[in-house]
Amino acid sequence: MATDTIIEAKDLCLHFKIDEDYTVKAIDGVSLEIKDGEVFGLVGETGCGKSTTARALCGMYKPTGGDILYRGESVKRKETLNRMHKEIQMIFQDSGAALNPRMTVEKIILEPLKIHHMPVNSADIKHRFDYILEKSGLDKSHLSKYPQELSGGQRQRVAIARSLIMEPRLVVADEPVASLDISIQAQIINLFKHLQNEHGFTFLFIAHDLSVVRFISDRVGVMLKGRLVELGPTEELFNNPVHPYTKSLLSAIHIPDPEYERNKVFLEYDTEKPLGDIMLEVSPGHFVLEEI
């Protein structure tokens, strides 16, 4: 895995002012970096800010504080932001709902090329199209169909193919299997893993299923109330969690072992408890937010 940083958040904030007395701090001082070629997992309870962070890193939201560096340059520069939009693709939880119902699968997959004014009829694009179609688990019989004629798993594969046609530097997958049946979830996750192993794609993977995150991720960040409370290599974080909230999350993971399930203890955490301000390095590459 390469060590160059492809994208970095520096004290990133996104605050929404509701009225004079109330401001929602969706992201509140998040700092993290994603290395070129790695899978970075971001986890936390619903409403913790992980999806908002992903959208901010994609340029969908303009931060109210801090900065985002894409390949070492601030996205406050228009040229950098434009390059980031071209080189980052996003896959949503229910990508099927985002696919244009009036377009065939073929047109949907080729749409990003047209948006960025790239040729769609060159020999190189045709070869890339056929290759991505195969790797995404689709075939030419799907090309003339419309999204509503496909299953949920097939629609998600179309969304994956659409994201890969641009040969992105970074793919942001926001809960990409949460709406699918268990058997289809496994197929899609294995597809992501295969694509990452074969091509070295960089993934930011957002999920609430910690077992999936553990399977696919190189490093994991844990979010709570718009803050990053723990970050580290996947096995280090899962085997040696430090922050009480991380311990609480991990204690809820289902393990297919009846004896373990009978004896495990769920650890509660008071999410209303104030958070600290300083990230401490407890072991190489493993950081945790100090407790108050």
Structure tokens at 288: 């945790």
The model scores a pTM over 0.75: yes
Report the chain's terminal Cα–Cα distance, integer Å: 36
For 15-28, b where at least 16 C-beta lie within 10 A, e where not — what string? eeeeeeeeeebbbb
Beta partners for 23?
17
In whole angstroms, what is the distance from residue 171 CA to residue 87 CA? 9
Domains of the chain: 5-291 (3.40.50.300)
Residue closest to 221 by CA, chosen among 196, 180, 249: 249
Q: What pLDDT score was predicted for residue 96?
A: 60
CA 238 to chain centre: 19
- According to the model, what pLDDT value does residue 2 have? 45
pLDDT at 61: 92
C-alpha 55/C-alpha 19 separation (Å) is: 24
What is the model's pLDDT at position 104? 96
| Euclidean distance between CA atoms 250 and 271, whole angstroms | 15
- Give the three-class secondary structure for 122: coil
Instruction: Give the per-residue pLDDT at 256.
Output: 54
Six-digit token pair at 36? 């070129």
Sign of the dihedral defined by the CA atoms of residues 94, 154, 256, 38, in that order: negative
Q: Are 125 and 109 in contact (CB under 8 A)?
A: no
Report the pLDDT value the prediction gives residue 255, as an integer from 0 to 100: 58
pLDDT at residue 1, rounded to an integer = 43
Residues of the chain whose pLDDT is less than 50?
A: 1-2, 260
Contact (Cβ atoms closer than 8 angstroms) between residue 36 and residue 6: yes
- What's the pLDDT tens digit per position in 34-76? 999 999 999 999 899 999 999 999 999 999 999 999 999 999 9
**Which residues does 230 contact at the CB level (< 8 Å), separation at least 6?**
221, 222, 237, 241, 242, 243, 245, 246, 286, 287, 288, 289
Whether residue 59 contacts residue 236, with contact meaning beta carbons closer than 8 Å, is answered with no
Distance CA(132)–CA(164), nearest Å, equals 7
Distance CA 129, CA 123 (A): 10
